Structure 1
Amino acid sequence: MTTAGNFHSTVARATCDVPVAGVPWPAYKLIALLVGAVVLLVVGVVTMTASTAVLSGAAIGTLTWLGLSAYCSSCR
């Protein structure tokens, strides 16, 4: 038997998941990867230095990932 609280959390999780190759991924992970890739490209074009671009993209992607995961877990 499903209680209202369980149903609510299941619905909230279902709307935040995106299927990638048949595996559900939380949307915040895909957003963080996209933000990191955009930062990588922008910093790479501006500085023309691969190391700076990779480190910047990784740092921003990681911070976005952690920030959005903390935000999403507090909403549940």
Structure 2
Amino acid sequence: MTVHDEVSIAGVPWPVYKVLSVVIGLVVLGIVAIATTTAAPAVLAGAAAATVTWVVLRPFQRAG
């Protein structure tokens, strides 16, 4: 069985952890935007969530 650690987006391979980070950041942005109805906390929370996810998941990426 072959496991792919990349997702093709517009013909460009992205590591799964990066795609997951972007998705989590967007979800957090949406939730905070709905909860606070202001842009600044939503953007900061989304960026923070995406950055933390990226940094935490990066060591688990297989080299190759």
Q: Give TM class, smaller chain.
A: 0.7 to 0.9
Count of residue pairs the alignment pairs up: 63
2:45 aligned with 1:31 = no
Identical columns (%): 43
Hey, what does 1:3 align to over in structure 2? none
Match of 1:42 in 2: 31
| Cα distance in 1 for residues equivalent to 2:39 and 2:6 | 32
In structure 1, the partner of 2:44 is: 55
How far 1:19 sits from its partner (Å)?
0.6
TM-score, structure 1 as length reference: 0.75
Query: Stretches of 4+ moved more than 4 A in 1?
Result: none
Aligned-pair distance for 1:72?
A: 2.1
Task: Give the structure with higher Rg (CA).
Answer: 1
TM-score, normalisation: structure 2: 0.87
Secondary structure, counterpart of 2:61 in structure 1? helix
The root-mean-square deviation of aligned C-alpha atoms, in Å, is: 1.8
Identify the structure with the greater helix proportion. Answer: 1
* Distance (Å, rounded) in 2 between the aligned partners of 1:21 and 1:66: 24
